[in-house]
Amino acid sequence: MPEKNPFANKPARRVEFTDETTKGAPESKVREPLVAGEYYFTILEHKPKENQSDMDEVRLAEVETETWIWDNLVYRPKALWKVAQMLVAAGVIEEATPGMSIDIPDLTGKKIRARVYVDTTQAKPRNRISEYLPPIK
């Protein structure tokens, strides 16, 4: 039995190669993880996580080094504390109170403060967010 062609019934992709596109991959900027501590970030991207109906993905950039950190906002009761912290940090709400209900807005472009740690459980050390901090008044 022949294998099913994943490109069947889909429009063909057309590419045009040039001298520039055939030179190889561009050099990437490899950044060391941030030292554990408090930092200011800009939220570069906030979107629903693929194949996860109860989770959003946020991509943050530290304002001085532009180091990226990815984090997830999980909309399950035991994880809503972090969603509440993010909404306070972004200035969407002043505090989360029992019985409060809110439609989560797009947080892209918001400036926030967060506490970062270095996760060394993977092959490469990575930054993680331990908590989102309220704005300084």
Task: Sheet with 37-48: list strands edge to edge.
Answer: 68-74, 55-62, 37-48, 111-119, 126-133
Residues in the chain: 137
Give the pLDDT score at 32.
86
Give the pLDDT score at 7.
59
- Parts of the chain with a pLDDT under 50: 28
Q: Write down the domain spans for the chain.
A: 37-133
Give the pLDDT score at 119.
95
Six-digit token string for 55:
């989770």
Give the pLDDT score at 50.
84
Give the pLDDT score at 116.
97
Give the pLDDT score at 4.
64
**pTM across the whole model:** 0.75
C-beta atoms surrounding 128 within 10 Å:
16
- Answer CATH for 37-133 from 3.40.50, 3.30.420, 2.40.50, 3.90.470: 2.40.50
